[in-house]
Every structure is written in C-alpha cells, then in structure tokens.
Structure 1
Amino acid sequence: MDSRAKPLPDMHGITVLQLVPSLEAGGAERTAVDIAAALVAAGGRALVATTGGRLVGELREAGAEWLQFPAATKNPGRIVWNAERIRRLIAAEGVDIVHARSRAPAWSGLMAARRAGVPFLTTYHGAYKPGGPLKTWYNSVMVRGDAVIANSRFTARRIEQQYPRAEGRIEVIYRGTDLDRFDPAAIDPARIAALRSAWGIAPGRRIVLLPARLTGWKGQEVLIDAAALLADRGVADVDYVLAGDAQGRTAYLAGLEARIAARGLVGRVHVVGHCSDMPAANMAADVVVVPSTEPEAFGRTAVEAQAAGRPVVVSDIGATPETVLAPPDCAPGQRTGWRVRPGDAVALAAAVEEALALGPEARAALGARARAHARGFGLEAMTGATLALYRRLLRRANAA
C-alpha cells in the first residue's frame, strides 16, 4: 500500500455538500470533517448539512460551513420534504456534488441531486446487515449514486454480494487517520496523567482500554468476562477502561454495571463515558482492545492504537485482517497485534495476557511495526483519493 502523501487535487471553484445525520462521534462524522477540511485546503468550498454536534466547532475552524439541517430523520414524509430543501440548497449555494454518508439523508440527497442534475455519491461507513425486501430496498440507496466509496475491501465485497449492480462504481478508499495526532512524541505526558486521574486509575496500575460507544456488538460484555478470567489467573495490577457514549442506551449501561458487580470487578472496570482526547487515551493504555461481535467495516480504533505504537487485540472478523497483522497471515515476528474469535472471552483473555506480558524490547519492536503499518492508513491518502474522485465525477458529468 502506497502511504506517501500526494498533492491534493486543485478544487478551486468546486462546492461539495456532505450529508451526515449528526456531528457527534463516529467514523462518518469524523470523515465528514476531515474531507471538508481537505476540500477547503485545496481551494474548494465545503458545506455539511447535519443536525449538529460536538464536531461543529472543528468543522468551522477548518473553514467549512455547517448548515443546520434535520438530516437524521427517518420519517418518509420528512425525507421527501428534505429532498426539496436540499434541491433549493444546491441551487442557492451553487453545489457541484452531493455526498451522503448515511441511508436516510442519502434518500433525500439522491432525489435532490437527480432533480438538480449534479453528481451524487455515497460512502459506506458500516456493513449494513441484510434483511427482508423492505430493508434491502432501503439500504439500496447507498448504491444508487454515480459512485460508491467502500471504506475497506471487506466492505466492497459485502456491497458486491448484496448489490451486484454496483460493480464498476465501487471505489475502496480506506478511512484515513491523522497519524500526527497519534504520534507518541506529540503527546504531552500531562495529558496522559490528566486522563488517568479523571478515570480514577491509581499510580502503577496498567490499563486495558476499549474505546467504543456503549452498544452490545462493540463487545464490552466480552471484555468484562475476560477481565474476570484474568483476575482469576492472578493478573491483578490491571484496570479496564470502557470509554464511549451510551447514546441513550440506559438499559445496556445498567446491564454492564450489573455485570461488573457480578464478576467482582467494581473498582477494576471503569465506565468513563466519551473521551475527547483519544491520542492521550491510547498512550495511557498498555493494551487496546476491539472485541466487536459483529464485523467492523474498517476499524479506525485499531489503526489509531497502532499509530500510537500500542499492542492491539481485535476480533478476527470484518476488515480487521486488513488493518491488524497477525498469524497465520504473517510470521509471529511481523505481527502488529492479536486477532481472536469474536465473542470468545477465553481467547480474548489469553491474547490480552500475552500482550501485557511483552518485555520492553518486544513491546518496542511491536510498537515500531504497528506504527509503520498504520502509515498505510494515513489521512492524506484518504482525502487525496476522495477529492480525486470528486474531480472525476465532475469531468464525467461535464462530458455527458
């Protein structure tokens, strides 16, 4: 994989409207901001229509424009009305391309773009589950545009299997990470100490970190069970941090807290909510785990952890074989992390124990390999490829 940064395409005079439900936390939201910033840096104009969220400030700082818009609605009547509102936006703002990052706003964007005669494309940020005929039709909006961005080869294969007609319009563009933010040399130790204090971690304790929103398939329950197994084995100097929003899932949060208590892990497993300083969080961790029980369409968390030189343990499903090197796909001395069976607390505990047991030299060597591997998923590669796709779509539209 060529990770070398290339100059961004000239985007002067080009306006792109991105549609995303919100700008809170997540891959779609983070990517929308990153692409908007790159577009502005390349001389273009970036508009993002969304309900808003914690990333709006960063979006504006990059020189992009936030259009407050009910993009999260799934109400069919409002989706149709949103299409007319977007059509008016296209005309009023001189929009050249509409780029949707979620299904509900994609329906509005598709209708509006077709009426306005401008290119429309989508990005698959997740591997949508197949369902009955109605859900299959609803999901199909993501392959109805002029191009479809898949955030991994795994995602591209899923799209082709579910929607063969999309073949020829799919482009794999890996989710990009701002590697400079996760460079260990760039992290002030005071930031790490502040997080440890905020999380209630005592000095000298090691940390196993699971950074993900609190939802069942992200594997928090599996990690709690693995932590109990490790405690039974005498691994007693480790705390476990679940860092992520519950996003209103109060029943799931209560279930996690009950599970922690039932396993005798109160004070050892910390549910800390959203973390706004993930570079420092990764540096605070001795091991980062991504124990998802359903496929990750890309796996940004594992890439960020590797960029920080941390050992990672991930579930061996989805795109993780593309983002984490581990046997049998590489020699043991080339691994950048561990891949284990999803939902298997015993396997997760064994891998975490092995990662925690690394000596200083082995840990440093693994960290160097992990950082080198992460360079293949840099932000510049993603933004450059996306802007180049915008240019191709415009040339094609102008030639039609």
Structure 2
Amino acid sequence: MRILHVLSADFFAGSVAYAVALAEAHRRDGHQVWLASDAATLPTGATLVQLPISRRTYKQRWRNIRALRQLIRAEGIDVVHAHSRAASWVSYWAVRGLPLPLVSTVHGRQHLHASTSLFDIYGDKVIAICGNLAQHLRDEVQMAPAKIEVIPNGVAFPNLAVAAGPRATSPDLRLAFIGRFNGPKGERAAALFEYVLPALLREFAGLRVALIGGELTHLPAHGHAALGALQAEFDERIEVVGFSSDVPGWLQKTTLVVGAGRVAIEALGAGVPALALGEACYAGLVTEATYAAAAASNFGDILPQVGLAAVSWPQVLADARAVLRQPGPVAPALQAQVRRDYDLGRVAGRVLSVYESARMKKAVPDWLPVLMYHKIPDAAPATRHQTFVTRDHFARHLAFFHRQRFTPITFLDYQEFASGRRPLKEFPRKPLILTFDDGYLDNYTNLLPLMQQAGYRGVLYLLGNFDLRHNAWDLAADPAEPRAELMSAAQKAAFVAADWEIGAHTLTHPHLPALPAEAAAHELSASKAALEQRLGVPVQSFAYPYGDLSAETKRLVAAAGFRFAVATDTGGQHLEDDRFQIFRVNIFPHETEASLRKKTAPWYRRYYRWKRGR
C-alpha cells in the first residue's frame, strides 16, 4: 500500500514520534510511505516532503493543499493519514473529490470549531488513542460512532525480561518524573515538587529524584520556587536531566516513574512501577486492577468530558511511599499485557486494517450482498427448519445471478482488493458473496457441480472437527430432526481444488455466547488451526453458529486471528462498518425471482433495518 502521513508539529512531539514509528513499521512490512511535515529531517527511511503544515494562515493552507494534492496524484497514494487537527484540515481538502480515504489519528481532546461541524475534516475513519478520547468524540464532537476506532499509540519495546533483581535490592532508590514541564503538566509537576517530593526525600535517605523532559524553564513561578527549595535542601539528590533521548536507559535505573501517556506505557513495559499522573487527572498507581481505567485515560492525560480532575496529593504521596517501601518490578502479568496491548507491530497491523476498511468503504460505497445457504438436497427434507434450497431451485438462483450480471467473490478476494494487492479498478461492478454453512454431503454432490458449471466460487464454512459426519447438534436439540450427512475430508478438499474459500464454523457448532470464554476461544482457534492443517489453506473468515454473537464473542473471534465474521440478519449497513458482524441474508427454500431481486438490491440492508429494527 502507498501511505502518506501528514504532520503539523514543528518539533518532535509525541504525535510525530508515533507517526514515524508507524511509518517504519509499515515500511518493514513492505509498504511505501511518505511523510509531509514541517521538519526537514526525521528519523525515518520514508520519503520526506517538507511543508509548513503548522502555519495556519489561509494563504499557506491553500498552498499546502495544492502541494499535497499534487503529491497524491503523482505518487498514486492509496491512503492519507493525518496526525493533528491542522493536518486533518489540509488533508481533507487535498483528498476532496479523489477516490482515496482520509484517516485521522486524534491524540487529544478537540476544540469545537466551525470546521468540525460544517465539514467532516477528520475524514473517513478516526483513530482515537484511548477510550476516553473516543467517548469525547462521540458525545462532545458528535462524531458518528461507526467511524471511530480505538487504537493506542504503538511502542517498540526492547526485548527485556522482567527486571526481578536490581530495583528490588539496591539501597539506592530513584523516582523519575518524565514529561513536559509546560502547560497543565507543568502545574502538575509544580504541585508534585511542593506536596509530594519533600516528604519522600526526607523519609527515604537514599532516594534520588530525576526530572526528565523538555520546557523546564516554562514551569509556573511557584514551580520554580519549589524546585529551588528542593535543590537547596537536597542538593545532588535532585537530578535535573532535561530532555533525554535515552528514556529506556533511565527506566532501567529507576524505582518508580511518575508520568502519563507514552511515559507510563514504556515504564510498565519495562517492568517499572508507574504513577499515572497526567494533565487531566491522577489515574493512580497502575496495577492489574486499575490498568483498564488508567489506559482509558491514556494514563492520566484525557478525560471524556471537558475539564481537569482535582488531584489528591496525599493519595499520590501514599502511593509513592508504598512503592518505595517495597521496591520491585510490576507484576509479570501486567507487564506482559502492556507489552501486548501497545506492541508497535500489533498496533501497526490494526492501523493497516483501518486503512483497508476506509479504502474499501470509499471505493465500494454500496451494500455488498452476502447470502447464506446450508443444504442443497435433491428434494425437500422432512424438517421444520428452513435451512435448505433444493438442487433445482438453487440452479434457478444461479441463473438469476447470471442474468443480473453479479460476480461472485470470496472474502479472500475482497481482502486482496482491500490490501492493495489487486487494483480497485478491477473490483466487480456487482459483487456477490455466496456462503454455505456446515459442509453437508449434498454440497459436494449438488452444489459444487452447479457452481462449477456457472463458473462461480463461494465460501464454505466447515467445522474443524473432521470426525463429525452428521448434524449431531440438530439431533441433540431435537431427536426427530432428520440426520444429514457431512462431507468427508476428501470431499471438502474438492472445494479447495475448485478455488473456493474455506471458513471456520467452530469445532462442534455450539451457541458461542453461552460458553465460558476459555471454551469459546478454544472452539474458535482450534477450528481455524484444524482446517488450515487438514486442507492446507488460510482460514480468514468465520461464521457464527445460529448467528449467535456478543461483544465478547466478537473480541474472541478477532483474537483468534480471523479477518471477517458473518452473522445472520444483523450487522452494519456496510461490510466495513463491522468486519466481525457482517450482515448476511438468510435464503429460504421457496425464494422467487422477485424475492432474490429484493435481497440482492443495494437498498435491501436499509429496508431490513427499517422493517425489523436491526
């Protein structure tokens, strides 16, 4: 993919560091990357284009817009990613009318402005770096929830084991405040100097305090006075470091870190306890119990509503004292979770998925019909379930699709276009995805020959348990239900040879939301692994048995490594509204040409929601 990042900071701010790290991660994965920025040099191998994005005079803005638009056209850019409000503004106008998406990462609370309400300057998709920020965008900015993705800033953690020894046994203790010393964070630092550090330095004779970060001269007056008093009383125990490019090195010789955002993340990832003190609030000592709430605030930097929360400085003092009295690394489980959640490679992959989603929604704005079939028998079985279409009726369905000039594709095909491996100009004008659940024997005897005769391919959702040879789940629920045979492994392999996509449908066809999380996760991951091993193909899509799902089920499906998941008569208006709850149309035994025409019409999803409310 060809990716353009647009930055407005004329200094190496956190948003710039994030964009550069993201660019490098995507370059390592083989993508081509450009950065348009005020800076003439940045620590990246991506192509740099110097533009004064942060200069907001309208004359300069329009110059920037023209330059970006020329760059986009000349280099064939696939997606533009803006990293500030100023960058989003010029990028919005630069891509206007062009067939490529704009993605914006929002790093902090946004000022409400005319351009926010009059124009959707943030583009097609918005990445909020924490949960509180996403809530602010929904509630205060009035942004459509479907376009917001919560993805944190990624961190390239060094390969470190949990530091079990030195910090826990050394007689020397060090507390490090790491961050900016201007603005609201300067006020927090000043209060820390006044209300917390003197007591700690008097109580712990071996304690040293390191002050790491830029803009120390911008401390408020009372902060300068408090710092001067600390230096006068404790002399060399106050280490005024200023800006440092070796924060990881300082972390390795620090007992306790006070900071917010990336500082807290890097500290916890290195195994160093952290007090999450940011410009918005004090999120406390980060433990396994407090981690989720602290992460939602970006470790103290962001509240969901306007305003700043009062800080209980006695509580900060108590939390710091507790760590210094029993120094040691954070719990290994917490360190591992932080390193997993904020891992740069994982974050870069999630951001790439956002690019793909925005790209496809822009290129394919209409609803893409996904149809659900099960059995294709010779004659109607004696069942109360409407999960079949006879062979002759299905042949008429295929004839209808041919007359309407539909082009059946698979989710693997769709992903080829989304990822840029196939050009979007080749995407079919009238795409259709035909899916078949469970893997019945009549799929081999009837379905496959009919589809091959029509020149069509589909998606076959199979159980990962190859020992299951009939619909045992139906018989368990109703012994009167007729037995329906499933295909053998060799018959399933015939679909692979015919270039069908194979998707997973669990191991045993359970109601997933009713299972404990561990059992549900096993049904998902084990079925994917079994199908990939036995059939030798990648398995990237999943079908929920009975259409049953929940927010937790969707999370488990994503965690199992699937890219897509199909529901039944629930889901978004567009496939990209939620790749893990794709609206799939139930096809019944006695569909007519009129009903098929309706169920494949571009307006059908909107009509269904209006009629059924879901």
Asked whether the two chains share a fold, i.e. TM above 0.5, the reply is yes
Rg larger in 1 or in 2?
2
Spell out, residue by residue over 1:325-379, the C-alpha distance to the aligned partner (whole angstroms, 9 max, x if none): 365789xxxxxxx99x8533322221111111115xxx24x34233122122211
Query: Quick one: which amino acid aligns to residue 247 of structure 2?
Result: M
Query: Quick one: which amino acid aligns to residue 130 of structure 2?
Result: S
Report the alpha carbon displacement of residue 321 of structure 1 after superposing the two structures with TM.
6.1
Is 2:141 aligned against 1:163? yes
| Distance in 1 between residues matched to 2:27 and 2:157, nearest whole Å | 20
Q: 2:262 aligns with which of 270, 276, 300?
A: 300
| Distance in 2 between residues matched to 1:80 and 1:369, nearest whole Å | 50
- More contact order relative to length (CA 8 Å, sep ≥ 6): 1
Q: 1:26 aligns with which of 3, 7, 13?
A: 13
Shift in alpha-carbon separation, 1:287–1:310, aligned structure 2, 3 A: same
Query: Quick one: which amino acid aligns to residue 385 of structure 1?
Result: R
TM-score for the superposition, normalised by structure 2: 0.51
Shift in alpha-carbon separation, 1:245–1:369, aligned structure 2, 3 A: same
Query: Quick one: which amino acid aligns to residue 77 of structure 1?
Result: K
SS of residue in 1 equivalent to 2:219: helix
Aligned position for 1:212: 179
After TM superposition, list the pairs within 5 Å mapping 1:1-400 onto structure 2.
14-22=1-9, 24-52=11-39, 56=42, 58-60=43-45, 64-128=46-110, 130=111, 135-138=112-115, 144-180=122-158, 205-218=172-185, 219-225=188-194, 226-232=196-202, 234-246=203-215, 250-252=217-219, 256-263=223-230, 264-290=233-259, 299-315=261-277, 324-325=286-287, 343-358=311-326, 363-364=328-329, 366-374=330-338, 375-400=340-365
Spell out, residue by residue over 1:161-198, the C-alpha distance to the aligned partner (whole angstroms, 9 max, x if none): 1122422100111222222356567xxx9xx9xxxxxx
User: Would the aligned equivalents of 1:238 and 1:268 in 2 still touch at CA under 8 Å?
Assistant: yes
| Distance in 2 between residues matched to 1:323 and 1:303, nearest whole Å | 13
| Distance in 1 between residues matched to 2:128 and 2:173, nearest whole Å | 37
User: Would the aligned equivalents of 2:3 and 2:78 in 1 still touch at CA under 8 Å?
Assistant: yes
Report the alpha carbon displacement of residue 227 of structure 1 after superposing the two structures with TM.
0.5
User: Would the aligned equivalents of 1:122 and 1:142 in 2 still touch at CA under 8 Å?
Assistant: no
Q: Answer 1 or 2: which has greater helix percent.
A: 1
Query: Quick one: which amino acid aligns to residue 59 of structure 1?
Result: T
Which deviates more from structure 2 when the two are superposed, residues 140-149 or residues 209-218? Answer: 140-149
Query: Quick one: which amino acid aligns to residue 279 of structure 1?
Result: P
User: Would the aligned equivalents of 2:115 and 2:121 in 1 still touch at CA under 8 Å?
Assistant: no
Structure 1 residue runs without a partner (length 5+): 1-13, 193-202, 293-298, 331-337
User: Would the aligned equivalents of 2:5 and 2:81 in 1 still touch at CA under 8 Å?
Assistant: yes
| Distance in 1 between residues matched to 2:229 and 2:61, nearest whole Å | 45
Query: Quick one: which amino acid aligns to residue 126 of structure 2?
Result: V
Report the alpha carbon displacement of residue 23 of structure 1 after superposing the two structures with TM.
7.0
Shift in alpha-carbon separation, 1:329–1:69, aligned structure 2, 3 A: closer
Report the alpha carbon displacement of residue 99 of structure 1 after superposing the two structures with TM.
0.9
Report the alpha carbon displacement of residue 382 of structure 1 after superposing the two structures with TM.
0.8
Structure 1 vs Structure 2: percent identity of aligned residues? 25
Structure 2 residue runs without a partner (length 5+): 293-298, 301-308, 366-614
Query: Quick one: which amino acid aligns to residue 269 of structure 2?
Result: A
Query: Quick one: which amino acid aligns to residue 206 of structure 2?
Result: D
| Distance in 2 between residues matched to 1:20 and 1:285, nearest whole Å | 33
| Distance in 2 between residues matched to 1:22 and 1:209, nearest whole Å | 26
Spell out, residue by residue over 1:52-104, the C-alpha distance to the aligned partner (whole angstroms, 9 max, x if none): 277x1x312xxx11111112212233122211111111112221211110111
Shift in alpha-carbon separation, 1:214–1:328, aligned structure 2, 3 A: closer
User: Would the aligned equivalents of 2:22 and 2:154 in 1 still touch at CA under 8 Å?
Assistant: no
| Distance in 2 between residues matched to 1:142 and 1:30, nearest whole Å | 26
Spell out, residue by residue over 1:213-232, the C-alpha distance to the aligned partner (whole angstroms, 9 max, x if none): 22232221122121012234
Shift in alpha-carbon separation, 1:277–1:20, aligned structure 2, 3 A: same
Query: Quick one: which amino acid aligns to residue 229 of structure 1?
Result: A
User: Would the aligned equivalents of 1:91 and 1:116 in 2 still touch at CA under 8 Å?
Assistant: no
| Distance in 2 between residues matched to 1:318 and 1:154, nearest whole Å | 11
| Distance in 1 between residues matched to 2:291 and 2:253, nearest whole Å | 29
Query: Quick one: which amino acid aligns to residue 387 of structure 1?
Result: L
Aligned position for 1:3: none
* Count of residue pairs brought into register by the alignment: 340
